[in-house]
Amino acid sequence: MPSKNKIKYIKSLHLKKYRLQERKFVVEGDKIIKELAKSSYEIENLFATKNWIDKHKITLNLHQSKVFETEPKQLKAASNLTTSTEVLAIANMPKPKALDRDAPLHLYLDSIRDPGNLGTLIRSAAWFGLSQIICSPDCVDYFNNKVLQATMGAFLHIDLLSASMDELKNILKDHHLVGASLGGTLLKEFKLPAKTILIIGNEGKGISPELLEACDQEITISKAENSPIESLNAAISGSILLSHFCK
């Protein structure tokens, strides 16, 4: 059984400050943890009910010292989910990867604050074959538990990077900056440059004025003439654009 201090430690990792300090994060839920165990991520400890361990101990391939049988009430105390879970794990953050200079398309997220939106964009980027997704430093932390849940495990299949636009432009000098905005070229009329950084902005404010001014081009998803809607959700916009560009 995990000690009270261990439960307290798990709970601390739900806060970004301690995740970054420890370079560890918490993963919850049966499906995601089974995928985590098959990935390149290193599981430091796994906490689960006796029933869950008995069902999965053969396939987990974890050393016995890393697995802790845990009472449901302890899991509930350590969990950040509203629904009960039978298993959670502490995993080590991977070493930061370098930006892929040769990738024809990068997705850059400017000040995305909603965990659900970021998780959905990570999932869409992985679905459409991107190898990396890049967040501005003020985006919601991609190891936030709500982000991980929204990815449905997709975070395990794509590099998660953080960089300022200045850092990005310095490394990806031959990539064109294309910003999604309400005043750009219609998507159906847009020709994608050979190397592109597609930028999706904040849910309420869009792309920051400074970054929008730095864009080489702007692009807009057309709407129906009779539509009263002012804009699309950031995750929906990004997913539509990726679907179009990754054909």
pLDDT at 226 over 80: yes
The answer, as to whether pTM is greater than 0.75, is: yes
Of all residues in the chain, what percent carry a pLDDT higher than 70?
Answer: 99
Q: Is residue 97 part of a domain?
A: no
Number of domains the chain is built from: 2
Q: What angle (nearest 5°) sits at the alpha carbon of residue 65, between those of residues 59 and 66?
A: 60
Say which amino acid occupies 152: M
Contact criterion met (CB below 8 Å) for 172 and 192: no
Contact criterion met (CB below 8 Å) for 207 and 180: yes
Distances in whole angstroms, Cα of residue 33 to Cα of each of 91, 112, 156, 218, 231:
10, 26, 10, 39, 36
pLDDT digits (tens, 9 = 90+) for 43-68: 999 999 999 998 887 677 777 788 99
pLDDT of residue 24: 98
pLDDT band at residue 244 using 50, 70 and 90 as cut-offs = very high
DSSP secondary structure string for all residues of 110-151: SS---HHHHHHHHHHHHHTT-SEEEE-TTSPPTTSHHHHHHH
Q: Looking at the structure, tell me whether residues 72 and 113 fall in a common domain.
A: no
Say which amino acid occupies 83: T
Q: CATH number of the domain that 224 lies in?
A: 3.40.1280.10
pLDDT at 171 over 90: yes
Determine the average pLDDT of the residues in 67-81: 92
Range of the domain at 162: 105-245
Q: Looking at the structure, tell me whether residues 171 and 64 fall in a common domain.
A: no
Determine the average pLDDT of the residues in 61-78: 88
Q: b/e for 112-131, b at 16 or more Cβ within 10 A?
A: bebbebbbbbbbbbbebebe
Q: Is residue 100 part of a domain?
A: no
Q: CATH number of the domain that 36 lies in?
A: 3.30.1330.30
pLDDT of residue 167: 93
When the pLDDT of each residue in the chain is averaged and rounded to a whole number, the result is 93
Q: Looking at the structure, tell me whether residues 82 and 110 fall in a common domain.
A: no
pLDDT at 22 over 90: yes
pLDDT digits (tens, 9 = 90+) for 107-163: 999 999 999 999 999 999 999 999 999 999 999 999 999 999 999 999 999 999 999
Q: Looking at the structure, tell me whether residues 212 and 180 fall in a common domain.
A: yes
pLDDT of residue 58: 65
Q: Looking at the structure, tell me whether residues 193 and 71 fall in a common domain.
A: no
Other CB atoms within 10 A of residue 224 CB: 7
Burial class (CB in 10 A: 0-12, 13-18, 19+), 170: exposed
C-alpha span between 124 and 118 (Å, rounded): 10
pLDDT at 6 over 80: yes
pLDDT band at residue 230 using 50, 70 and 90 as cut-offs = confident
Determine the average pLDDT of the residues in 63-78: 90
Determine the average pLDDT of the residues in 59-83: 86
